[in-house]
Amino acid sequence: MSREARVGIFVLLGLIVLTFFTFRVSKWGLIAEKGYRLTVDFDTASGLEPKSDVKMAGVPIGKVEEIELAGNRARLILRIQQGIRIPIDSVASIQTQGLLGEKYVEILPGKDVQRNLPSGGQIANTLSPVNLDEMVRKLSEIGDDVKKFTDSLSATFGTEEGKKALGDILRDVAATTASLRTVVQGNEARIERILANIDRLSADLSDISAANKEDVRATIENLRAFSDTLKTETPSLVRKLEEMSERVSNIAGDNRENLKESIANLKTASARLDNTLDSAGRVMAKIDRGEGTLGKLVNDNTVANSLTGAFDGISRYVGKYDALHMTLVPWVEYQTGTSDWKYYLNLKMQPTADKYYLVGVVNDPRGKRTDSSSFISVGGNPPVETRIVNFEDDWKFNALLAKRFSRITVRGGIMESAGGLGLEYDVVKDRFSVGADIFDFNRPENNRAHLKLYGNYDIFKNLFITGGADDLLNRDSAYRTFFLGFGIKFPDDDLKTVIGAVPIKP
């Protein structure tokens, strides 16, 4: 072959490949375009780009060719492949593929298969995309409703009449709880056993060690038996039991010695059962009839409706990812140094495996600080100022954003009503994790930030124990403490069942 021929072939081949490319690349030349054009108008084409896919039943059938403004709406010009027939009553919508994925135009085929859209035709029916703005608007509506609710609450309880009503309600509630005693009476033996178990459990937890692990296990067995028992009861009974066991555990925590006595009192009180049940029935009936502000509130459907609407909006948005796992996590911690209990209730919302949001409340035994000072003069000496710092328990809230990188989870946001950061490491995946939180960098008296080291161990899927050291950096050694505790995780499904069981609408 001559040199000229070789070079000629080389150049020719290059041109052929180049021509091939020009035909394959999407945004080039009119020669390569096949198929017919359709137009469709949307309120917004945000997120959509030329070359985005057009799909029918999930199958790509064309591309978005141009996006232009027609009036104040977005006009898309679609190029549909030859041979694809689109019924004249089809509906076009803008959809998103995956989380933060690309947008595409989905065409829901109509029923009128006899008449198809001609070339250059317009798809008249569109569905506007669910957009974030709309969701935010709905959420703010909810906010308004909540505000209205609290306003009316304060209006109710602020007035003299309200106070009286509240007193009535409280009395009724007291009567209601009293009626619980009947339930207790019916299951006296069992409850006694449960309480004994709880008692033992908390005793075990306060000095947990490798040596009495078996006990813990037994306790947990018992707890399980307890929860099983709870499950077998009717939902209302479960609810009542929950309320009650909360009280009981308070009693158990503060006043272990008096516990049995209290139970004895409970027993004696049970005599008034019928009476109180009647009262409870009367209150409920009142509320049901819409008497009183609370009754009105409970019976007013607008709040419930807008809540439902908003939830629909969210679930439509969220439902696409079908992955927002919610877990309600209550737990308690017993602080050995100060013999205090600290209560937590957190809601963990997890849209993807690698991140979650956490909101919740904490009851901190030293949540509220009051400083007072007094001057004491001893033996004619000049008065000495003595400062007294008092702590009372108070509610604080958490709002955290967490992101997971392999086994490490980094989280930050508001921790116990103060800015904070945390790091958690999964030692055994989904089973045992250790972590550190540091928050409240701006404490009074130049105190150092609040550092908490902890380890969580899941004994069962839904039950975990926790332990660690709290407030390690505190200048006052009295507040540095170890803690032990346990908690329960209510995952999605259980939570939904629980929420479902709560009669939001009467």
Partner 1 sequence: MTDSTAKKNGALRLAELLGERVHAMVLDLGAIFTLFLQVVSSAVRPPSEFRNIVKQMEEVGIRSMPVVLVTATFTGMVLALQSYSGFQRFGATSFVGSVVALSITRELGPVFAGLMVSGRVGASMAAELGTMKVTEQIDALITLATNPVKYLVVPRVVAATIVLPILVVFADLLGIIGGYFVSVYLMGANPYVYMSKTYQYLEFKDIYTGLIKASVFGMLIALISCHHGFVAQGGAEGVGRATTRAVVASSMMVLISDYFMTSFMF
Q: How far apart are CA 202 and CA 223, in angstroms?
A: 12
Is 27 near partner 1 (CB under 8 A)? Answer: yes
Q: Tell me whether residue 17 or residue 504 sits nearer to partner 1 (CB atom).
A: 17
CB contact set of 211 (below 8 Å; sequence gap of 6+): none
Q: How far apart are CA 76 and CA 330, in angstroms?
A: 51
Using the contact rule CB under 8 A, the part of the chain among 7-15, 84-92, 137-145, 325-333 near partner 1 is 7-15
Min dist CB 40 to partner 1, Å, is 20
Is 98 near partner 1 (CB under 8 A)? Answer: yes
Is 403 near partner 1 (CB under 8 A)? Answer: no
Total residues interacting with partner 1, rule: CB under 8 A: 23
Min dist CB 46 to partner 1, Å, is 19
Is 322 near partner 1 (CB under 8 A)? Answer: no
Is 13 near partner 1 (CB under 8 A)? Answer: yes
Is 29 near partner 1 (CB under 8 A)? Answer: yes
C-beta separation of 499 from 328 below 8 A:
no
Using the contact rule CB under 8 A, the part of the chain among 25-33, 76-84, 409-417, 472-480 near partner 1 is 25-33
Give the three-state DSSP class for 230.
helix
Is 14 near partner 1 (CB under 8 A)? Answer: yes
Min dist CB 332 to partner 1, Å, is 38
Is 18 near partner 1 (CB under 8 A)? Answer: yes
Q: Tell me whether residue 99 or residue 504 sits nearer to partner 1 (CB atom).
A: 99
Q: What angle do CA 491, 497, 502 make, to 5 degrees?
A: 120
C-beta separation of 122 from 90 below 8 A:
no
Q: The tokens of 359 are what?
A: 């909101």
Q: Across-strand partners of 404?
A: 409
Q: How far apart are CA 401 and CA 322, in angstroms?
A: 20
Query: Per residue, what are the HEC states of 39-77?
Result: EEEECCCCCCCCCCEEEECCEEEEEEEEEEEECCEEEEE
Phi-psi region of 94 (alpha: psi -120 to 50; beta: other; left: phi over 0): beta
Is 10 near partner 1 (CB under 8 A)? Answer: yes
Residues 427-486 that bind partner 1 (CB under 8 A): none
Alpha-carbon torsion (303, 305, 308, 309), positive or negative:
negative
Which of 11, 127, 155, 428 contacts partner 1 by CB under 8 A?
A: 11
Measured in degrees and rounded to the nearest 5, phi and psi for residue 463 equal -125, 130
Using the contact rule CB under 8 A, the part of the chain among 3-11, 282-290, 300-308, 427-435 near partner 1 is 3-11
Q: The tokens of 227 are what?
A: 């929860």
Is 407 near partner 1 (CB under 8 A)? Answer: no
Residues 49-78 that bind partner 1 (CB under 8 A): 51, 60
Q: Which residues bind partner 1 (CB under 8 A)?
A: 3-4, 6-7, 10-11, 13-15, 17-18, 20-22, 24-29, 51, 60, 98
